[in-house]
Amino acid sequence: MQSPTHRPVILCVDDDSVQLSVHAAVLSSAGYEVLTATNAAAGLHLLTHNLVELVICDHVMHDLSGTVLLAEMKRIKPNVPVVLFSGLPDAPEGAEHADVFLTKGMSSPAFLDVIRELLKGRAASGGNRS
């Protein structure tokens, strides 16, 4: 059981610093602890060295696509839910590695609802915090 002061840790990976800042601000204001990475290598480093409980990743990045990055993250920590974010209207090839595919432009309340549900599902299944 988690303590009342527990703040779930969410890792956001996006090479667009504006989008990354927006996600971090929305999540922080909702009570989450947010780690940010502007490239795939930094995201993998943060995932492997922190107790990350959920990952949000952009699809189109300069160094590695989000689908490839999420596949690697799932290989490393299969119990950590991952969200693939994209400006594309349809899920790209490889999106099956993500637990949820979201399109950019959704409202903050809807975005936070998805995050809460993923974290609730993780807690209900006894999600491993490794």
Domain boundaries defined on the chain: 9-123
CA distance 106 to 102: 8
Spell out the residues 6+ positions from residue 35 whose beta carbon is closer than 8 angstroms to its own.
9, 10, 11, 12, 46, 50, 52
**Residue 104: pLDDT over 90:** no
**Residue 35: pLDDT over 70:** yes
CA distance 23 to 8: 15
**Residue 128: pLDDT over 50:** no
Q: What percent of the chain has pLDDT over 90?
A: 66
Per-chain mean pLDDT for the chain: 88
**Cα distances (Å, whole numbers) of residue 82 to 1, 4, 38, 58:** 22, 24, 16, 11
Residue 65: pLDDT band (50, 70, 90) is: confident
CA distance 22 to 122: 24
pLDDT at 79: 94
**Residue 127: pLDDT over 60:** no
Q: Which residue has the higher pLDDT, 114 or 94?
A: 114
Give phi and psi for 109, each to the nearest 5: -60, -40
What fold does the segment set 9-123 form as a domain? Rossmann fold (3.40.50)
